[in-house]
Amino acid sequence: MIVKSSLLLLGAAFAFAADQIPIGESSACLASATPNNCCTGGAKTGQVSINSRTFKFTCGSNLISLNPRNAQKVDDAHACASLCANDVSCEASSFKGYGKAARGGSNCFFVIGDNMDQKSDEEWITFTEVLPSCLESDNPNACCSDPSKQEDEVLIDNVRWKWTCTSILSSLNPNNKPAANAHECAKLCASEGCDAISFRTKGTRKDTCFFARGSNKDQKPSAAFLTLVKVVDDIAEDPIPEPNLDCKECVEEKNQCINDKDQCFKDKVECVREKDTCKEELEEADHSLQTCQNNQVDPAKLTQCENDKLALQSAEEDCRRNAAEVEKKRKQCRSEQTKCEKEKGDLSIEKQKCENEKNDLNMELTHQDDEIAGLISQITSLKSKMDALQQSYDTLNVDCNGEGADGKCRTNLFDAEPRDDQCIIAAGNERFKIHYAKLDDPSAPNLGTPKASSFKDCAEKCASYSGPKKCVRFIWKTDGKDRACYMRSHGGNTAPTQSSLFSSGHLL
């Protein structure tokens, strides 16, 4: 049993050396100028959290499949991992910590596809994403959704736990613990020294996380719970004795070997740095030698250089003379420009005066146009009034005096007057033209001689005559005293020419 325990202790010592977490804070260490120094004391791996994503970094390792298209140059390993963390399609990256720069000067490369295979290379550090387990899912039943897999083991803070679906601890502490998922519940349990928990996977109740009561880890079926129990190896129960002297010496030798390896690594880095410095000094010396050789010229070139210098001096003298002439012309131009500006100013003043006079004239014309428009309006109004008065006058004149020759006769014509000659009387549906004091045939009328009250009434009687012959002419004594209307059926188309005491009306 003692030998077995010694071997276990020795194995634990080697495991400690192999899985040692890097010294110092991972993020700060990886962001330093020498990120490879994070891997001290033989430590090869560790974890770092960037932008809510967890990456496992492996020192002295390089991804086999690197993508050169999105390669970049960054300041440190942490910056390279941050670029990958910010790219949702990136699951792994490799950073070249030292040594000869990669082609193009890039030192940060993403993986191609999902090929996560790596190879040993001490100049590189590789980052691979650590994906959360189903116990950390927001879905409490995520681990139990596959009917073919209802139990498994998982590492939580480097401790193995076994989870079993549709199972609940027989003896539970009734006090519920606040936990977002089964993984968090198990971590909380471990922090309080318990070894088993049951986590609710179904239902809507808020109480989800329960610890085992005491050391009782017995389970019973339950469709709404998942149970996690710490896995304890049989050999872990045996007390581990102090390592014997041989084991201590072995561990010390191992540590010394690790220290020697680390010193060798540092020496190699320093050697590379000195080599680069030497190379730079050599290149600078070559450049100085080349410059020195270029500065050595033959006498012919020196003579040519002197001639060129004299030609240049002569050209400078010509340039100075030309500059004086140019300056003189420039002064003349400035004088002429000043004169031109003065004339331009005078013209501008005259132009403004003209504009003012033009505006004044336009204003006067506007006023005159307004006055003319007012006068025209008055004339139009007066003309309308005159037309109305003339129309009234003409109406009254016709009513009083008739319209004269070929016009309308007076309305109540009784005794004919010279002004009635050639006037027209409208009677019934007929019209008669009056021939004042003229009659060529004073013979007796053939249609009768009825009495009439006026010249107009006589015309009405002729127009309304209904005998077998049509009345085409009536005769009225000019003074109208006898009130007799002489009607005839003939002679209507012949205008009388002889003077008479009678006036004649002819049908039109």
Tens-digit pLDDT profile for residues 140-169: 888 998 889 899 998 888 789 999 999 999
Is 90 exceeded by the pLDDT of residue 329?
A: no
488 and 441 Cβ atoms separated by less than 8 Å:
no
Among 8-12, 292-296, 464-468, 495-499, the range scoring the smallest mean pLDDT is 8-12
- Could you tell me which of 384, 411, 379 has the C-alpha nearest to residue 397? 411
Instruction: Report how far residue 465's alpha carbon sits from residue 482's, in angstroms, rounded to the nearest whole number.
Output: 21
- Residue 262 has a pLDDT of 67
Rounded (10°) CA dihedral 375, 378, 380, 381: 180
Highest mean pLDDT among 311-320, 345-354, 401-410, 472-481: 345-354
| Distance from C-alpha of 288 to C-alpha of 151, rounded to nearest angstrom | 74
Measured in degrees and rounded to the nearest 5, phi and psi for residue 375 equal: -65, -45
pLDDT digits (tens, 9 = 90+) for 100-118: 777 778 889 999 888 888 9
DSSP letter at 37 equals G
pLDDT the model gives residue 206: 80
Q: Quick one: how far is CA 494 from the chain centroid?
A: 102
Confidence of residue 291 (pLDDT cuts 50, 70, 90): low
pLDDT winner (highest mean) among 19-23, 202-206, 295-299: 202-206
Q: Quick: pLDDT tens for 366-384.
A: 989 899 999 999 999 999 9
Separation of alpha carbons 53 and 136, rounded Å: 13
pLDDT band for position 21 (cuts 50, 70, 90) = very low
Higher pLDDT, 35 or 343: 343
pLDDT tens digit sequence for 334-349: 888 888 888 889 998 9
What pLDDT does residue 359 have?
A: 92
Q: Residue 402 in contact with residue 409, Cβ under 8 Å?
A: yes
Q: Is the dihedral of CA 272, 277, 280, 281 positive or negative?
A: negative
Tell me if the pTM is above 0.75. no
Mean pLDDT of the region 61-68:
88
Give the pLDDT score at 3.
34
Supply the pLDDT for residue 9: 32
CB contact at 8 A, 476 and 413: no
